[in-house]
């Protein structure tokens, strides 16, 4: 699977001073960075399966612009968390990871609901019309609608 964020984008997004895995020649271990980026993309896809193109099985590019920047940030955060994950990892890192998972759930709800749901389905208002067999379930009492 092609990651949402490339290794170059990931390295340009993380702050200076972050400890990254190094190879013996003190270069950044790009193989490990690419692995965690694929893992992070997999976590995102597990939460947002509608990102996958049904024909190719890859993420449909470009990603919906409404969510693209947030998803790139989440992918970066998850990858960074997985790179530095340790048994004694900081509570701040775990809290940020939980916040990212909550945001993914919110994005999924936003995409699947509202007026711009999957397939751009729009909601419709149905008006009662006895001629077309749509009954009016409201009843009138003392001039008020209930």
pLDDT digits (tens, 9 = 90+) for 47-78: 888 888 888 888 876 777 888 888 999 999 89
Contact indicator for 76, 33 with CB cutoff of 8 Å? no
Compute φ and ψ for 30, nearest 5 degrees. -65, -30
pLDDT of residue 62: 72
pLDDT of residue 111: 74
CA angle 114, 117, 121 (to 5 degrees): 100
Compute φ and ψ for 67, nearest 5 degrees. -115, -10
User: Which residues touch 51 (CB under 8 Å, ≥6 apart)?
Assistant: 44, 45, 59, 60, 63, 71
What is the pLDDT averaged over residues 109-126? 55
What is the pLDDT averaged over residues 124-144? 63
pTM equals 0.66
Is 60 exceeded by the pLDDT of residue 35? yes
pLDDT digits (tens, 9 = 90+) for 72-108: 999 998 998 888 765 555 777 788 888 888 888 888 8
Residue 144: enclosing H or E segment and its boundaries?
Answer: strand 144-145
Percent of the chain whose pLDDT exceeds 70: 75
Burial class (CB in 10 A: 0-12, 13-18, 19+), 115: exposed
CA distance 74 to 44: 8
């Amino acid at each position: 699977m092609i990651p949402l964020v490339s290794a170059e984008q990931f390295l340009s997004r993380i702050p200076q001073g972050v400890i990254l895995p190094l190879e013996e020649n003190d270069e950044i271990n790009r193989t490990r960075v690419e692995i965690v980026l694929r893992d992070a993309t997999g976590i995102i896809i597990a939460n947002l399966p509608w990102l996958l193109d049904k024909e190719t099985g890859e993420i449909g590019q470009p990603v919906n612009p409404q969510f693209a920047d947030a998803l790139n940030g989440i992918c970066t955060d998850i990858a960074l968390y997985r790179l530095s994950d340790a048994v004694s990892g900081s509570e701040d890192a775990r809290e940020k990871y939980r916040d990212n998972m909550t945001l993914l759930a919110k994005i999924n709800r936003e995409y699947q609901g509202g007026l711009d749901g999957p397939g751009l389905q729009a909601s419709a208002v149905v008006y009662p019309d006895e001629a077309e067999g749509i009954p009016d379930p409201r009843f009138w009492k003392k001039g008020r609608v209930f």
